Structure 1
Amino acid sequence: MTIQPTEWLMLFIIVLMPVYSLWEADKVKIAILAGRKTKIRAYQDAMLFMWLPTLVLLALMAYGAFAPSDFSLLWLGNLGNWIGTVFVVAIAGYFAYSAYTLMHNASARQKFRDVSQNHDWMMPVNKSELRWFTLGLSVSAGVCEELLFRGFIIGALGDSLGVVVSLILSSLLFGLCHVYQGWMNVLRTGIIGLVLGVIFILTESLWVVIALHALVDIYGGIVGYLFQQPEK
């Protein structure tokens, strides 16, 4: 099965995303730390960066170049769908319990704080930043990045590239898109992308990985916010 022109177009656009991230590199971090850019503006810029290629993909889908089934956006009601749904609910419960524990346990907060200092510059400090991070940036990342990296590369291109190649390619590009957070985070994010890709394949549902991705980012924002608050 050959790759169609519209698929080449989307693949080219997605490849440009890590190229742009590499070009930007530390510029966002430097601008925030220097006070030239607010965190909310940085969140908004990141949302725009994700939504622009996603809107192109959705437009092509509306045009008929892709079908929702290509991205596993349809509920099949099979075992994989149900196991994925239960897993999402379990993860949401765990994150809620963990956030509650951190909120009421100073020593636990300190342990987490010691290993997350590299991300302090991008974490929300006040409630306005927290809303933008959780409801804006995190939800956008869940929807956009899963549609692009898992839904398109693994779902739509899986038959053409093969499952293994599409899984590795999606994880690699996904990791490189986060180079602005540092090269160690590229590796970490790439591994997360690999895990999400496997879950996507096993559950046959993009909704499952969209929910998981958004939950992980929302949890990270809430925890980051808690770390930025002064101890009472």
Structure 2
Amino acid sequence: MLWVEIAFLVVLMVIFPVQSARGFPKLLREIAEGHRNARFPGYRETIIWEWALLAAALGIWFAGGRSLADLGFSRPEGWGFWVSAGLTLAAIVVLTLQVRQVGRSEEQQHELRAQMGGPLAFLPRAPHEKPLFNAVCVTAGVCEEILYRGWFLAVVGGWIGLPAAAVVGVIGFGALHLYAGKSVALRAGMLGAFFTVLYLVSGSLWVPIVLHIFVDWNTGSLSLVAFGGRSEPDASASPGPEDVPPSGSEGVS
């Protein structure tokens, strides 16, 4: 079983990020050319890859005789869970209000459009793109938290200790987002560290899963609001490889 786990880690930490990075330039070119559904292949590929990885991880997990509770789905209890849940709820309220505020401010919309060129062009800009992007948000929240927090910390933590595993897991999570540029990867790594702390303090994967979904939803919603539901890029956008997402956002893998 050890070699199976190692092989899976190679796929999770190396092959998956490389595969994501290889196809991203083509995706951006098709978006720049103005194809109506240019973002859809990237969204679908993310969904397929991540659920396939999760299925493999769970297969390995249960084959080893381990339970869902060991994976991070134990019954919520203790002050750590309730404090973490309260912080998550507060963050969700702030993210929701942020979208509404941007929707009422043309100045903020203009600022966001200037930030959302380059690698962030994969975010939805037209209403018909949002449903599939929402599916990506749920996929990322569920799959990535189980893979990089629950599964990774339990398996790798048993080899090198929990603190070291937490650091390596955060680095791997950030590397997964390198396809969108160093700034996005760094922001993702910082969020990954926060999700890890939430998980360890709360003792439940449900807390970071819910927050992860809403952070990604917030990013896509801000993009949609900023571009006013247009499928074409705004002329004021200034694309560049070092563009960063809006405050409180990480981009979506």
TM-score scaled to structure 2, two decimals? Answer: 0.81
Q: Which residue of 2 aligns with 1:162?
A: 161
User: Within 2, Cα distance between the matches of 1:76 and 1:138?
Assistant: 24
Q: Which residue of 1 aligns with 2:49?
A: 49
- Which deviations, in whole Å up to 9, do the C-alpha atoms of 1:44-66 show, x marking residues without a partner? 11111211111111223444543
User: Within 2, Cα distance between the matches of 1:74 and 1:188?
Assistant: 29
Q: Which residue of 1 aligns with 2:200?
A: 201
- Which deviations, in whole Å up to 9, do the C-alpha atoms of 1:134-170 show, x marking residues without a partner? 2x00010001111111111123332322122111211
Q: In percent, how many aligned pairs have the same letter?
A: 23
Which has the higher mean CA deviation after the structures are superposed, 220-229 or 115-124? 115-124
Stretches of structure 1 lacking an aligned partner (at least 5 in a row): none
- Which deviations, in whole Å up to 9, do the C-alpha atoms of 1:90-118 show, x marking residues without a partner? 11111111111111121222233333333
1:108-123 equivalences in 2 (<5 Å): 108-123=108-123
Stretches of structure 2 lacking an aligned partner (at least 5 in a row): 231-253
Q: Which residue of 1 aligns with 2:146?
A: 147
More helix by share: 1
1:166-181 equivalences in 2 (<5 Å): 166-181=165-180
Per the TM alignment, residue 6 of structure 1 is displaced from its structure 2 partner at its CA by: 4.1
Q: Is the 8 A contact 1:21 1:176 kept in 2?
A: no
- Which deviations, in whole Å up to 9, do the C-alpha atoms of 1:32-85 show, x marking residues without a partner? 323566212221111112111111112234445432122211123111111121
1:24 and 2:23 aligned: yes
User: Within 1, Cα distance between the matches of 2:229 and 2:67?
Assistant: 50
User: Within 2, Cα distance between the matches of 1:207 and 1:101?
Assistant: 28
1:1-232 equivalences in 2 (<5 Å): 4-15=2-13, 16-34=15-33, 38-134=38-134, 136-229=135-228
Count of residue pairs brought into register by the alignment: 228
User: Within 1, Cα distance between the matches of 2:74 and 2:33?
Assistant: 46
Q: Is the 8 A contact 1:133 1:221 kept in 2?
A: yes
User: Within 2, Cα distance between the matches of 1:206 and 1:77?
Assistant: 13
User: Within 1, Cα distance between the matches of 2:102 and 2:161?
Assistant: 43
Which has the higher mean CA deviation after the structures are superposed, 14-23 or 81-90? 14-23
User: Within 1, Cα distance between the matches of 2:113 and 2:106?
Assistant: 10
Q: Is the 8 A contact 1:51 1:144 kept in 2?
A: yes
